[in-house]
Amino acid sequence: MPKTAGPLSISFTDASIAEIMHWIEYTHPNQSRGTVIHLVNAYTLALASQDSGLVAVLRDLNAVNLVDSFWLHKLLASRSDLKHGQIRGPSLFKEAITRAPHVVSARNHFLLGGTEAQAQVIRSILEPFGKWGGSYAPAYGEADIDSCFARISNVEPSVIWVCLGTPKQDFVAQRLNQKFPATYICVGAALDFFTKEKNEAPIWVRSIGMEWAFRFLQEPKRLWKRYLWGNGVFIGLALRYWFQK
């Protein structure tokens, strides 16, 4: 799958959701390396601009960065010939979980993050078809690598969905992949949307690039930094990227 260079010299994979789904369902990672899929949005890049460690994670040899932002996609498309659109984390997660029971594949799924109640929802979908690999819902702020590794290595899943929020999930997935190579997919709040604990923006709102405003209006106290500070920093990054030679 082709790649294009974005802000902060971070490469983005230009792929369709069908191609990513095939990768998740059938492509076994190199056992010595594994793969970490990051769903990168404007806030991810804003944080990375202040954190060289996050930049290194996104530039890692085993990282696959997908564009999970309407405006980031517009920015990249202005400088390169992208053939595919934005891949939203919630859409990818929903597609993978609902398709898994019907896919002839030995790959199973592990859930890292969320709550026990949410895990039971996913388990009820996957377990009857032999696609459930287990779950671990660490307490808020307690997703230490050793505990996560112990839970994952005990069941040896093929696909690990990391729902710990940005940027924690990106760091945790990279470090876990070094200890237990597999397919890690960092999808943030996708689990909350799948279980209907949070409302997704209507399709028409997403289609005009205003999903961020919808989410901000729903949770202003929690998301003000993400969207007010983050969007401001992203605009600065976008301008530098646009005018660079």
Q: What is the pLDDT of residues 199-215, one digit of tens each?
A: 999 999 999 999 999 99
Interatomic CA distance for residues 111 and 126, integer angstroms: 11
Interatomic CA distance for residues 91 and 159, integer angstroms: 17
Q: What is the pLDDT of residues 59-102, one digit of tens each?
A: 999 999 999 999 999 999 998 888 898 999 999 999 999 999 89
Span 218-233, average pLDDT:
95
Asked if residue 145 has pLDDT above 90, the reply is: no
The whole-number pLDDT of residue 223 equals 94
The whole-number pLDDT of residue 216 equals 96
Interatomic CA distance for residues 198 and 4, integer angstroms: 33
The whole-number pLDDT of residue 79 equals 86
The whole-number pLDDT of residue 106 equals 79
C-alpha distance from residue 93 to each of 146, 191, 216, 225 (Å)? 25, 8, 22, 25
Report the b/e string of 41-63 with b at 16+ CB within 10 A: bbbbbbbbbeeeebbebbebebb
Asked if residue 123 has pLDDT above 90, the reply is: yes
Residue 8: which pLDDT band, with cuts at 50, 70 and 90? very high
- State which residues form the domain around 144: 3-243
Average pLDDT score, the chain: 92
Would you state the structure tokens that stand for residue 79, as one six-digit string? 């400088």
Q: What is the 3 state secondary structure string of the chain?
A: CCEEECHHHCEEECCCHHHHHHHHHHCCCCCCCCEEEEEECHHHHHHHCCCHHHHHHHCCCCEEEEECCHHHHHHHHHHCCCCCCCCCHHHHHHHHHHHHHHCCCCCCEEEEECCHHHHHHHHHHHHHHCCEEEEECCCCCCCCHHHHHHHHHHHCCCEEEEECCCCHHHHHHHHHHHHCCCEEEECCCHHHHHCCCCCCCCHHHHHCCCHHHHHHHHCHHHHHHHHHHHHHHHHHHHHHHHHCC
Q: What is the pLDDT of residues 19-72, one digit of tens each?
A: 999 888 887 655 568 999 999 999 999 999 999 999 999 999 999 999 999 999
The structural domain count of the chain equals: 1
Asked if residue 127 has pLDDT above 70, the reply is: yes
Asked if residue 141 has pLDDT above 70, the reply is: no
Share of the chain above pLDDT 90, in %: 77
